[in-house]
Amino acid sequence: MTSVAERAQEIVSNYKGKEGVLIHVLQDIQGEFGYLPEEAVRVVSEELGISLAEIYGVASFYSRFYFVPRGKTIVRVCRGTACHVRGSGRVLGKLEEGLGLKSGETSPDLKFTLETVNCVGCCALAPVVVVNEKPQTVLNPDKVIATLKRSGNGGQD
């Protein structure tokens, strides 16, 4: 058994025998791998006795479940009204250029994923960029890019 399947098995075992746990299991799996690896989903299907189709039906209903690997650092540019007024379009353009990614793409080295989001709810900070769940005001996109690149792995090393 591969490590992905083994880890998935461990995650599911926390929930076995309980009803209505599918979404929790999927969230934990995504928390572990950053997305839902097919191999892990197969384990979930086997262990919970839910068909693969049904699991993907549930998972694809929610936009926050992902089916392909994502970058270690996830950069979300808010495109809500307040941010838009304060120039989020230009921020996005700069970030796309600086990271070499279009919105929705992940860099081949799996370092960055760039996406847009419609509102993160802290409009007072606009224009907002959320880096790995941490919102920040971006007045100078170049500086953000430089920080991102310097920290390489999302400020983790």
Partner 1 sequence: MADLVTLTIDGKGISVPRGTTILHAAETAGIKIPHLCYCPGLKGTGACRICLVQIEKVKGLVVSCMRKVAPEMVVHTNTEEIREARRFVVELLLSRHSGLCLSCEKSGSCRLQQYAYELGIERPSFPVRDPGYPVDESNPFIVRNYNLCILCGRCIRVCRTQGSDILDFMKRGIETRVSTALDKPLQEAGCDFCGSCVGVCPTAALMEKNRRGKGREWEFTPLRSYCGYCGSACELYYNLKKDEIVRVTTEAPADYLCVRGRFGYGYLTSGARLTTPLVRRDGELVPAEWEEVLELTARRFRELRDKYGPRGVGGIVGALVSNEAAYAFQKFIRAALKSGNVDSGLRFSGLDLLRECDGVLGGPKGYASLEDIAAADVLLVIGDVWRRVPAVWGRIKRAADRGAKVVCLGLYAGRPTRVAQVWLRPVPGAEHLVLQQLAAAVLRQVGERRVRQRVAKFNAFKKELASAVAVPTGVGAEEIAKAAELWADRKAKGVVVLAVDGVTPETGRAALNLCLLTGRLKNALFLGHSLTNAQGIWRMGAVAETLPGLQTGPRVTARFARLWGATLPDIPGLTAKEMLAEDSPVRGLYVLGENPVASFPGCDRVAARLKKLEFLVVQDLFLTETAGMADVVLPLAATAETGGTCINVEGEVRQFREVLPAKTLAAWEVIGWLASKVRLDAGYGVLRQLKSEILTAAPGYGVKAGGTPRPAFLPVGDAVPEAGPDGSLRLVPLAARFGFYEGSWALHGGIRALCRFGGDCVGLAPEDAERLGLEEGTAVAVTTAYGRATAVVRIDSGLPPGVAAMPAFAAKTNTLLIPEAPNKPVAVEITKL
Alpha carbon 20 to its chain centroid, in Å, reads 24
Contacts (Cβ under 8 Å, ≥6 apart) of 88: 77, 78, 79, 80, 126, 127, 128
Whether residue 104 contacts residue 114, with contact meaning beta carbons closer than 8 Å, is answered with yes
Distance CA 74, CA 18 (A): 32
Binding to partner 1 (CB under 8 A) within 9-28 occurs at none
Decide whether 53 or 124 has the Cβ nearer to partner 1. 53
User: Does residue 142 belong to the site contacting partner 1 (CB under 8 A)?
Assistant: no
134-137 and 128-131 beta bridge pairing? antiparallel
User: Does residue 69 belong to the site contacting partner 1 (CB under 8 A)?
Assistant: no
Decide whether 52 or 110 has the Cβ nearer to partner 1. 52
Span from 14-22, 45-53, 103-111, 122-130 in contact with partner 1 (CB under 8 A): 45-53
Distance CA 154, CA 129 (A): 14
Span from 2-10, 56-64, 82-90, 132-140 in contact with partner 1 (CB under 8 A): 56-64
Count of residues that interact with partner 1, criterion CB under 8 A: 14
How many other CB atoms sit within 10 Å of the CB of residue 99? 21
Span from 26-34, 57-65, 81-89, 103-111 in contact with partner 1 (CB under 8 A): 57-65
Span from 47-55, 77-85, 89-97, 141-149 in contact with partner 1 (CB under 8 A): 47-55
Output the smallest distance, CB 37 to partner 1, in A.
11
From the list 75, 71, 101, the residue with the least C-alpha distance to 88 is 75
- Residues of this chain that interact with partner 1 (CB under 8 A) are 38, 41, 49, 51-57, 60-62, 67
